[in-house]
Each structure stands twice: as structure tokens, then as C-alpha cells.
Amino acid sequence: MVFTDVFNVMHDDCKIIQTQNDFKRVFIIENEQGVRFTCLKDDAPRSSKIHDHWKHAKPSDSPDAHPFHDKFV
């Protein structure tokens, strides 16, 4: 299955990590190397405190520590 992280980078061969708390808007995946990424849920509910819906960022906006950052800068 292919997942898209918050920086719009696609990942395959990942597993969904079960977390102690259930998040309403995001979930966490882990690749074979043990690197974890945050992904937006397709059906993420809108928050009453925020007027905009969350959107994926651009891959070039990913932090320097993102494993795939160098591919997009």
C-alpha cells in the first residue's frame, strides 16, 4: 500500500503504527528501516478552532532531517 506523508512524499512498503492515543487528523507509518512519517487521514474532521482544512505541504518544505529532503531541494 502507498501512503503520502504530510510533505506530499509517497512511501510504499510501510506499516501503520498503533499509537496509545487515537489521533483525529493524522496517523503514523514506519518504513522497513524504522523511520516514521506522519500522514494525513483522508477523512480528517475539521476543527472548530481552525477554519482551514489541513493540506499536504510541498516536499521542498520538508525539514532538513526528513530522510527524502535532499531529493526535493
> Three-class SS of residue 9?
coil
Furthest CA-CA distance within the chain: 37
User: Can you say how many angstroms the Cα of residue 40 is from the centroid of all Cα atoms in its chain?
Assistant: 5
Q: Tell me the C-alpha distance between 63 and 60, whole Å.
A: 8
What's the pLDDT score for residue 50? 62
Encode pLDDT of 16-58 as tens digits: 999 887 788 889 999 999 999 999 888 776 666 665 666 777 8
Q: Tell me the C-alpha distance between 56 and 39, whole Å.
A: 9
* pTM strictly above 0.85: no
